[in-house]
């Protein structure tokens, strides 16, 4: 069976500034929340590894761009570091950062690799966090000014812009589930942050439209498709609620121009509604994107709750469902998450049937494995598990495209093993393995396989 993709399909990988560039401050970079948290709350990070130890893209970007070209990539997603470009978050622009990003973009374009540039990948400048981060509307204005600076400086070199990566995560992980700095557990504050991120996205799109910049603009969403344990009405209701809070709350706002009515009713019922003005809603209603990125790693399986929630505690979406561990599921035990390739097909069909079949691409998909050194043979990581993972997900994607889904490309996470938030280098994700002591980068078997897929516009089984 041969799986062929279009000749203009986007093949590549993704990373982010904080995870690849690191905390290099010799050029005047300002501190962001990850630089701060990985030092101040170091015990929360695997083996205490901070942002100072990343995949060294800042020092070795020319070599990394050559490695991208060696794999025959035609596209590559990374982000601009707000705190590197504008160290205080507002005000003076760092000229050395401007030159660095010009060099990176020129290097990509020279090699025939289209830059997909994201403006915000979890990395709030500390000066902005100190005044409340996205709880403070002044930071929305600062973000939009930062976006305009990027459009003005680099717009002639970038054809695809993205406002945010996984906008749910800064709100949910930082303000409800105690995983990201500032480690707050308060649903109403999380909801306010999420709403303000939506407004920041809309504001940046408005700046882009009004400036009549060339290219396209979109956003990158983390979508976890929800599956009920059974067709029992109670399980179906649990799935509906999980989907409402974690998917439709954002998808409907970004892609349909309004928040779900049912969500508003529930938040008002439990006194959890954030401050939302009519002007806010008008801006959301008027904002449309050109292209959508979808990050997909795992499904969410849920069931009706086995017990009543503790309503004396902090309000949580988990009041309405329990997680369900399906018997027989395939697991990536390194991360403790289920492997379910067909979820990518289901996402594609949802976009096709419920969100106007907008142009989209897989902006992240991949598998992180702990202890990959055990699979090194003759100097190369023989990561057949990653090849199988990619094959299965690409087959699911191919089926959706054959059925009319407007999927334009596939980017794996990630290019070179990178620092990964709390887990640092615990799990390895890249097409290239990086020696943490020497910085040497060695291609894995999956990288060679992926290059062959690109050159052949697909693969056969």
Q: Would you state the structure tokens that stand for residue 50, as one six-digit string?
A: 């901070």
**Cα R_g (the chain), whole angstroms:** 21
Which residue from 137, 277, 262 is spatially nearest to 193, judged by alpha carbons? 137
- 4: which strand partners? 458
Which residue from 21, 219, 257, 38 is spatially nearest to 119, judged by alpha carbons? 219
Q: Which sign does the torsion angle of CA 434, 17, 199, 156 carry? A: negative
Contact criterion met (CB below 8 Å) for 385 and 367: yes
CA distance 442 to 110: 23
Following DSSP, what letter does each residue of 44-103 receive, concatenated?
GSGGG--TTSS--HHHHHHHHHHHHHHTT-SEEEEE--HHHHSTTSSS---HHHHHHHHH
Annotated catalytic residue 403: no
Catalytic residue chosen out of the listed positions 21, 172, 338, 364:
364
Which residue from 234, 242, 277, 117 is spatially nearest to 172, judged by alpha carbons? 242
Annotated catalytic residue 364: yes
- 458: which strand partners? 4
Provide φ and ψ at 182, rounded to 5°: -90, 15
Catalytic residue chosen out of the listed positions 166, 172, 338, 372:
166
Contact criterion met (CB below 8 Å) for 342 and 350: no
**Catalytic residues, which ones?**
166, 364
């Amino acid at each position: 069976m041969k799986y062929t993709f279009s000749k203009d399909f986007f093949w590549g990988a993704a990373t982010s500034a904080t995870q690849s560039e690191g905390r290099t401050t010799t050029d005047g970079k300002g501190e962001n929340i990850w630089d701060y948290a990985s030092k101040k709350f170091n015990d929360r990070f695997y083996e205490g590894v901070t942002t100072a130890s990343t995949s060294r893209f800042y020092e070795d970007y020319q070599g990394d761009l050559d490695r991208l070209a060696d794999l025959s990539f035609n596209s590559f997603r990374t982000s601009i570091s707000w705190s590197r470009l504008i160290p205080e978050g507002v005000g003076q622009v760092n000229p050395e950062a401007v030159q660095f990003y010009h060099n990176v973009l020129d290097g990509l374009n020279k090699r025939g690799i289209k830059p997909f540039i994201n403006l915000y990948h979890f990395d709030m400048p500390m000066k902005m966090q100190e005044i409340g981060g996205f709880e403070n509307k002044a930071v929305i204005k600062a973000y939009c000014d930062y976006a305009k600076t990027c459009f003005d400086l680099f717009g002639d070199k970038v054809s695809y812009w993205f406002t945010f990566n996984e906008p749910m995560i800064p709100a949910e992980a930082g303000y409800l589930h105690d995983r990201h700095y500032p480690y707050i557990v308060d649903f109403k504050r999380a909801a306010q942050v999420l709403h303000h991120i939506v407004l920041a996205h809309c504001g940046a799109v408005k700046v882009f439209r009004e400036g009549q910049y060339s290219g396209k603009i979109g956003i990158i969403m983390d979508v976890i498709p929800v599956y009920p344990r059974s067709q029992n009405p109670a399980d179906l209701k649990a799935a509906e609620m999980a989907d409402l809070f974690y998917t439709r709350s954002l998808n409907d706002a970004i892609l349909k121009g309004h928040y779900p009515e049912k969500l508003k009713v529930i938040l008002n019922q439990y006194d959890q509604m954030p401050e939302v003005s009519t002007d806010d809603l008008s801006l959301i209603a008027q904002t449309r994107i050109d292209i959508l990125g979808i990050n997909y790693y795992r499904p969410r399986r849920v069931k009706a709750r086995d017990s009543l929630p503790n309503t004396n505690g902090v309000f949580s979406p988990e009041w309405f469902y329990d997680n369900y561990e399906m018997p027989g599921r395939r697991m990536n035990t390194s991360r403790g998450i289920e492997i379910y390739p067909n979820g990518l097909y289901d996402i594609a069909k949802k976009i096709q049937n419920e969100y106007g079949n907008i142009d989209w691409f897989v902006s992240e998909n991949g598998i992180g494995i702990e202890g990959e050194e055990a699979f090194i043979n003759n100097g190369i990581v023989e990561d057949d598990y990653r090849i199988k993972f990619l094959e299965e997900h690409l087959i699911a994607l191919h089926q959706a495209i054959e059925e009319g889904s407007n999927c334009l490309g596939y980017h794996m996470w990630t290019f070179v093993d990178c620092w990964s938030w709390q887990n640092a280098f615990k799990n390895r994700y890249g097409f290239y393995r990086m020696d943490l002591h020497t910085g040497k980068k060695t291609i894995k078997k999956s990288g060679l396989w992926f290059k062959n897929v690109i050159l052949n516009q697909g693969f056969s089984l």
